């Protein structure tokens, strides 16, 4: 859970949070450096300015002078989000260097392909293995989290839930314009106010939208959010859980168990595919967030383990092929709207699964494999480079 849910500053877990973690770690290695050079490759360079990557990697080194090199044309071998730190002494001689990757959700990987965070603590390689064990032992999905991460995981998940709620509260009460050249106005506050004057379906949908917008706008402004599984998709899961808590008055324990189940779903995708928009497009971010939220919602509403798996499968299946094409490289358009729509879709997927007996044709594991293959087939312009899709068409219009 600690490798999936991270509390940090937006606007991007892969372009802001991960690179900052890397910079902080390298800073400890070179306390006496006179100059730092940081080279950003591939997607990190292509959309780094809109994601504030330069600020994220340079701030930990202050007051040491820092030079940023943008090399969007070069992609390092293991991932599109490559970066290199070099430290020099007063005579401009290289004293240390580190090359690695920001692989999504704030996670890092070194040049040898070794990921941060230590060894995998779960013995399951697929959702099917988890379902079979759950059925044989008559256990809920969240129980596996406690078994393999210890009872202290609930203390951690409570801090995560509190951070999610704080982001919603701040976003709902904020007005004004988001930073950056797009000059995009915040909408969460007005959507929430309008929701209070509506009834029935429109009231509930508008409330759900407002919660997702609140978190996504906080993320876009560089505020504190939780990766779920990324910063760019951080609005979906908090919105769904907050909405259901308001509707049904669920106790905190049930919400934490829902977070645990959502975490299992997200970690399975991390293990078997990717949650990096630069690697597989937005299907790996908002699509996975929708799957996590759909599974969590199905559990909260009394679903069986099979109905939970079905809800998660639908949440990801119906985002297959979703591109990552941020206009201007900002996590604003289309990212913020996508969080709101995915939150509503997650609730719909949970409802659809709960109406069934949980049996269906395409499994969650099959959709994860399909998502990875689809991401690999995407042109680079559709994977967080701002060189294709909406980013390209809108840019051409402006010209």
* Tokens 């004057």 sit on residue: 197
Q: How many CB atoms lie within 10 A of CB 148?
A: 15
In a 13 Å sphere around the CA of 233, the CA atoms on its Cβ side amount to: 33
Give residue 222's pLDDT band: very low, low, confident or very high (50, 70, 90): very high
Q: How many CB atoms lie within 10 A of CB 197?
A: 9
The answer, yes or no, to whether residue 118 has pLDDT greater than 80, is: no
d(CA 165, CA 159): 10
- Write out pLDDT tens, residues 64-82: 999 999 999 999 999 999 9
Do residues 103 and 18 touch, judged by C-beta distance below 8 A?
yes
Please list, residue by residue across 29-61, b when 16 or more beta carbons sit within 10 angstroms of its beta carbon and e when fewer do. ebeebebbbbbbbbbbbbbbbbbbbbebbbebb
Predicted TM-score of the model (pTM)? 0.94
d(CA 53, CA 278): 14
* Closest C-alpha among 262, 267, 221, 206 to residue 238: 262
Q: Phi and psi (nearest 5°) for 332?
A: -135, -60
- Write out pLDDT tens, residues 153-204: 999 999 999 999 999 999 999 999 999 999 999 999 999 999 999 999 999 9
d(CA 1, CA 160): 10
Tallying the residues shown for the chain, one arrives at 399
């Amino acid at each position: 859970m600690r490798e999936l849910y991270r509390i940090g500053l937006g606007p991007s877990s892969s372009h802001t949070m991960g690179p900052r973690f890397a910079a902080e770690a390298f800073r400890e290695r070179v306390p006496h450096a006179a100059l730092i050079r940081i080279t950003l490759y591939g997607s990190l360079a292509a959309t780094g300015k809109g994601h504030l990557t330069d600020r994220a990697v340079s701030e930990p080194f202050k007051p040491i002078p820092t030079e940023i090199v943008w090399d969007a044309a070069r992609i390092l071998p293991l991932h599109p989000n490559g970066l290199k730190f070099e430290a020099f002494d007063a005579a401009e001689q290289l004293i240390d260097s580190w090359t690695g990757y920001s692989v999504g959700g704030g996670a890092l990987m070194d040049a040898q392909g070794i990921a941060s965070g230590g060894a995998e603590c779960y013995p399951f390689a697929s959702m099917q293995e988890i379902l079979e064990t759950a059925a044989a032992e008559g256990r809920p999905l969240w129980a596996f989290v406690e078994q393999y991460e210890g009872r202290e995981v609930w203390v951690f998940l409570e801090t995560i839930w509190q951070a999610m709620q704080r982001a919603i509260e701040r976003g709902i009460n904020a007005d004004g314009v988001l930073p950056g050249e797009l000059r995009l106005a915040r909408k969460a506050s007005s959507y929430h106010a309008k929701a209070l004057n509506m009834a029935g379906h429109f009231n509930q949908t508008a409330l759900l939208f407002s919660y997702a917008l609140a978190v996504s706008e906080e993320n876009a402004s560089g505020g504190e959010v939780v990766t779920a599984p990324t910063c760019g998709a951080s609005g979906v899961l908090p919105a769904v859980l907050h909405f259901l808590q308001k509707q049904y008055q669920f106790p905190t324990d049930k919400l934490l168990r829902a977070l645990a189940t959502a975490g299992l779903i997200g970690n399975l995708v991390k293990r078997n595919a990717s949650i990096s928009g630069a690697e597989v497009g937005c299907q790996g971010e908002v699509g996975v967030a929708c799957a996590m939220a759909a599974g969590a919602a199905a559990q909260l509403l009394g679903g069986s383990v099979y109905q939970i798996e079905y809800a998660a499968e639908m949440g990801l299946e119906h985002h297959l092929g979703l591109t990552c094409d941020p206009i201007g490289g900002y996590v604003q358009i289309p990212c913020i709207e996508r969080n709101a729509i995915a939150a509503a879709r997650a609730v719909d997927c949970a409802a659809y699964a709960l109406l069934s007996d949980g049996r269906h044709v395409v499994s969650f594991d099959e959709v994860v494999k399909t998502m990875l293959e689809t991401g690999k087939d995407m042109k680079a312009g559709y994977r967080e480079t701002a060189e294709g899709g909406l980013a390209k068409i809108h840019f051409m219009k402006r010209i």
